[in-house]
Chain A
Amino acid sequence: MSETAEHTGHHIDVKEFHPRAQAAIHDPKIRKNFRSAMDGLMSKRKTAFEGWDLETLRDLGANVRLRALANLPDLLEQLEKKLIENGIRVHWAVDGDEACRIVRDICKARDAKTVIKGKSMVSEEMELNHYLEEQGIEALESDLGEYIVQLADETPSHIIMPAIHKNTGEISQLLHEKTGTDLSNDVEYLTASARLQLREKFMNADVGVSGVNFAVAETGTLCLVENEGNGRMTTTVPKCHIAVTGIEKVVPSMEDVSALLALLTRSATGQHITTYFNMISGPRKAEELDGPEEVHLVLVDNGRSSIYQDDELLDTLRCIRCGACMNHCPVYTRVGGHAYGTTYPGPIGKILMPHLIGLDEGRHLPSASSLCGACGEVCPVKIPIPDLLVRLRQESVDGDKLHPAKVRGHGAKRSSMEAMIWKGWAWMHASPGIYRFGTGAASKFRALQPSKAGAWTDYRTPPKLAAKTLHQRMKERGQ
C-alpha cells in the first residue's frame, strides 16, 4: 500500500463510533427505518430459499469461492489474457489512489468532462467521486439510492440499499431542494422524475464507470447484477466504459457464476434473480450499432493481497457483497450504517475495513458485536464472521503470543490497565484453590456486593450473588 495518499479519504473519523452509535440509538427515525427494512429483508430472504437445500448450496458457494481464491494469481492472468483477446483493456492498481489515477488518465485521454456511475462499492472504497471532482470531472451516481445519497452529500448506509436510512419525506425534500422536483410522497412520481433527469445525463456522459459482481476468467466476461437498468445504461450508452473491481472477484467459469448468482440475489434482497444480469465480454464490434467503443477493467488490490497471506483471514475475501450479514445483524439494525463511519458497514465491514484502514484506526470495529453469530449463519459463502471478529480482537490487543498479530496497526487497542486486569483474572481462574476461596468469600460477604457495577447497572439490576456457590453445595452433597 502506498504511504503517500494523494487524497486523504476518510472524511469521517472511524474512531468516533461510540458517539455516532449512541446518537443513532436515540434517533427514533433511524431506529424505525432500519428495523422495518431489516425485518422485511430477513423474511424475504427466508422465503426466497424455500425449496432449496440451502446448506448444500451454501457449501457450494463457499467452495466455489475458495477454489477461485486458491487459484487467484493464475485466474487473474487468465482473465487478463481473455479480456485482452476480447478487446477489453486491463489495468492493475495496488491501492485506491492508483485506481483513481488510472480512471482519471482514461478520462483525460478522451477529454471526458462527465462520468456517469453505476453502483460500485469499490469506487466508494477509492472515493472516486471526490477524486474526479478535484480533477475537474463531474461524476454522477445513477443508481437511484446512490443518486439520493450523492445529492445529500452523504455516504451509503447499506451496501445494497444505499439510501435505506432516509424515508420518502426526506427524499422528496432533498429532490425538491436539489433538483426542483415537486414535493410529493408518491414514490412513483419521485422515481419518474429521477428517471427524466438521469436519462439526460446518460445521453451526455462521456464515460460510464461501473462495478463488477463476478469476473469470469474462462470467457473474459464481466457480470453485473442490478434491478434498475442504470447499470446497463452506464455500460452501454457512454462511448467508454470503465469497470472497477477488487482482485478477489474473479471466478473460473460461468458455472461458478450460476452458483453464486443463485445465492447472491436471494441472500441480498430475497429476489430469485434481479431484473438484469448483464454479462459484458467486449466493446462494440464494428458491425454493432450501440455499446461502448472502449471497455476497461481496473483490478484493484487495496489491501486484499495482504488479507490473502493468512489462511484464516483469507476467508474474508470469499465475500460476494450480498449484505445479508448486515440485514441480520442486531447491532447494525440498531445503529444503522453511518455509525460505523466506514465504506462497508455491518459485519462485513468489521472484518474487512481493519485491513483497508488499519487496525489502529479501525480498532473499535471488531468489538462492536455481541458475537451472536447471526451473520455467519446467513452468509451465503459461509464466512465464519464471528471467528474473524475474535481474531481481529486478538490482533487489536496483541493478545496471543503463540500467534503473533499480523494486521497493519495491530496492538493499538492494548492498554496496560486492561492487560493487567486480564492477567489478574487469569491468575485467579487458573488457580482452583484461590478461585474457590475468592468466590466463597464473595458469597459469604454478599451483603457487601455493590449495587452499581459500571455500565451494566445503568440499564439493569446487578446479578445477585448466591448464599453458597455451586462448589460449596456440591461439596456438601459429597460430590
Chain B
Amino acid sequence: MVDPIKVYPAKPAKVYFYGTCLVDMFYPDAGIAGVELLEREGIEVLFPQNQTCCGQPAYTSGYHDEARSVARAQLDLFPGDWPIVVPSGSCGGMMRKHYPDLFKDTTDEVKAAEVAGRVWELTDFLLNVCHIKLEDLGEPTTVAMHTSCSARREMGVAEVGPKLLGQLKNVNLVEQIRPEECCGFGGTFAVRHPEISSAMVSEKVDALVDTGTRQFVTTDCGCLMNIAGYAEKNQKPVEGQHILSFLWSRTQGKGGSSHE
C-alpha cells in the first residue's frame, strides 16, 4: 500500500473543526486552544454541532459495522470544501487513512474518500498550511514531547511538534530515550491487556522523568490520559498537557483575543 503523498493546500479562509470525543468530554481546553490558534491566524472556525466520534474505538476492536454507522454520521458534517482539522493524530488517522477502507464498496465510498482527503492533524495544519509564527511570552521552561504513534506513523507529523516548540524562544525541548516507542495506550488495548499496557506506560513515564523536566506535551489525548494518569497514580513528578494548550498558553494575548 502506498501512502498518499501529502500535498498541503493554500491557507483557507475557513476550516471545519473536528474536536474528537476525548477532547469534547475530558480536554475541551485543548480544543479551545486549537480554535484560538486558528482564529489568530485569521481563519474562521466552523464547529459542526452534530459531531460525535470518528468511530475508531469500534473499528480497532473489529466491530466494523458499528464503526461504520458512527462514521457515516460524521460524513455529512462537512458540506463545504474547507479543510477538516483534528486535534489528534489518532482520530485524524482514522478519518484520513481508514475511512476510505471502511466505506469501500458502499454508496458512501466517494464521499468518504473526499472527506478523508480533507483531514489534517491540527499542528501539522498550523505549521505547514498556516505557516504559523509563534512568539513566546512565557518564562523560560523545559518540556518533553511525546508524539503519538498515529500522529507519527499514520499522519506523518513527527517533525511538526518539535518544530513548533522550537519557535518558542524560552522553551527548552528535551528528548526522552526511545521517543518513538508507544506509550501503551492503544485505545481498548489498555483495558484488554492492562499489564502489558502498564509495563509500557511505566517505562514511558520513567523516560520522561529521566529527562529532568516536570512537564510533557503530546499530540493526542489518549496518550495524555494514559501517561499523565499513570504518573499521577504512581506519584511520578511529571505532568502533561495537549501541545495545543501549551502553545496557546505560551503565546496568548499576541495578535488575538483570549477566551478564558
Asked whether any CB of A lies within 8 Å of a CB of B in the complex, the reply is: yes
Closest Cβ neighbor of A398 among chain B residues: B62
Residue pair B201, A460 in contact (C-beta under 8 Å): yes
Residue pair B192, A367 in contact (C-beta under 8 Å): yes
Q: Report if A172 contacts B (CB, 8 A).
A: no
Q: Report if A448 contacts B (CB, 8 A).
A: no
Q: Report if A456 contacts B (CB, 8 A).
A: yes
Complex Cα distance A330/B180, Å? 10
Q: Report if A335 contacts B (CB, 8 A).
A: yes
Residue pair A397, B61 in contact (C-beta under 8 Å): yes
User: A25, A403, A465, A471: which contacts B26 (Cβ < 8 A)?
Assistant: A465
Contacts of B202 in A (CB 8 A): 459
Residue-by-residue, is A436-469 near B (CB-CB < 8 Å gives 1, otherwise 0)?
A: 1001001100000000001111111111111011
Residue pair B73, A432 in contact (C-beta under 8 Å): yes
Q: Report if A106 contacts B (CB, 8 A).
A: no
Complex Cα distance A390/B73, Å? 22
Residue pair B24, A471 in contact (C-beta under 8 Å): yes
Closest Cβ neighbor of A370 among chain B residues: B186
Contacts of A462 in B (CB 8 A): 229
Residue pair B196, A331 in contact (C-beta under 8 Å): yes
Closest Cβ neighbor of A424 among chain B residues: B66
Residues of B35-81 at the interface with A, using a CB-CB cut-off of 8 Å, are: 35, 45-47, 49-53, 55, 57-70, 72-73
Contacts of B182 in A (CB 8 A): 330, 370, 372, 374
Residue-by-residue, is A352-367 near B (CB-CB < 8 Å gives 1, otherwise 0)?
A: 0000000000000011
User: A335, A374, A394: which contacts B64 (Cβ < 8 A)?
Assistant: A394
Residue pair B62, A436 in contact (C-beta under 8 Å): no
Contacts of A474 in B (CB 8 A): 17, 19, 31, 35, 47, 49
Q: Report if B82 contacts A (CB, 8 A).
A: no
Residue pair B69, A430 in contact (C-beta under 8 Å): yes
Complex Cα distance A382/B1, Å? 8
User: A367, A403, A460: which contacts B229 (Cβ < 8 A)?
Assistant: A460
Interface of B toward A, CB cutoff 8 Å: 1, 17, 19, 21-29, 31-32, 35, 45-47, 49-53, 55, 57-70, 72-73, 101, 105-106, 149-150, 152-154, 178, 180-182, 184-187, 189-202, 225-226, 229-230, 232-234, 259
Closest Cβ neighbor of B152 among chain A residues: A373
Residue pair A470, B19 in contact (C-beta under 8 Å): yes
Residue pair A399, B64 in contact (C-beta under 8 Å): yes
Besides the known contacts A399-B66, A460-B232, 17 further A-B residue pairs in the complex with CB atoms under 8 A apart: A334-B196, A334-B200, A372-B186, A373-B149, A399-B62, A403-B105, A426-B63, A439-B25, A443-B25, A456-B194, A456-B229, A460-B201, A461-B232, A463-B22, A464-B26, A466-B27, A470-B28
Residue pair B28, A22 in contact (C-beta under 8 Å): no
Residue pair B73, A429 in contact (C-beta under 8 Å): yes
Known contacts A442-B25, A461-B232; is-contact A371 B180 (Cβ 8 Å) = no
Complex Cα distance A425/B57, Å? 10
How many whole Å from A443's CB to the nearest CB in chain B?
A: 7
How many whole Å from B36's CB to the nearest CB in chain A?
A: 10
Q: Report if A84 contacts B (CB, 8 A).
A: no
Residue pair A330, B194 in contact (C-beta under 8 Å): no
Residue-by-residue, is A181-195 near B (CB-CB < 8 Å gives 1, otherwise 0)?
A: 000000000000000
Contacts of B53 in A (CB 8 A): 429, 435
How many whole Å from B186's CB to the nearest CB in chain A?
A: 3
Contacts of B152 in A (CB 8 A): 373
Number of A-B contacts (CB under 8 A): 214
Contacts of A443 in B (CB 8 A): 25
Residue pair B149, A370 in contact (C-beta under 8 Å): yes
User: B31, B46, B62, B199: which contacts A396 (Cβ < 8 A)?
Assistant: B62
Contacts of A370 in B (CB 8 A): 149, 182, 184-187, 189-190, 197, 200
Q: Report if A11 contacts B (CB, 8 A).
A: no
Complex Cα distance A370/B186, Å? 4
Contacts of B229 in A (CB 8 A): 456, 460-463
Known contacts A372-B182, A469-B24; is-contact A432 B50 (Cβ 8 Å) = yes
Q: Which 9 A-B pairs have the closest CB atoms?
A: A370-B186, A460-B229, A393-B62, A372-B182, A455-B194, A426-B66, A432-B50, A400-B64, A373-B153
Complex Cα distance A335/B193, Å? 11
Q: Report if A138 contacts B (CB, 8 A).
A: no
22 CB-based A-B contacts, threshold 8 Å: A330-B184, A330-B200, A370-B184, A370-B197, A374-B149, A376-B153, A390-B60, A397-B62, A422-B66, A426-B63, A426-B69, A429-B52, A430-B52, A454-B191, A455-B191, A459-B194, A459-B230, A461-B232, A463-B26, A463-B225, A464-B26, A466-B26
Complex Cα distance A464/B21, Å? 13
Known contacts A430-B72, A459-B194; is-contact A371 B186 (Cβ 8 Å) = yes
Residue pair B60, A393 in contact (C-beta under 8 Å): yes
Residue pair A430, B73 in contact (C-beta under 8 Å): yes
Complex Cα distance A469/B106, Å? 33
How many whole Å from A93's CB to the nearest CB in chain B?
A: 32
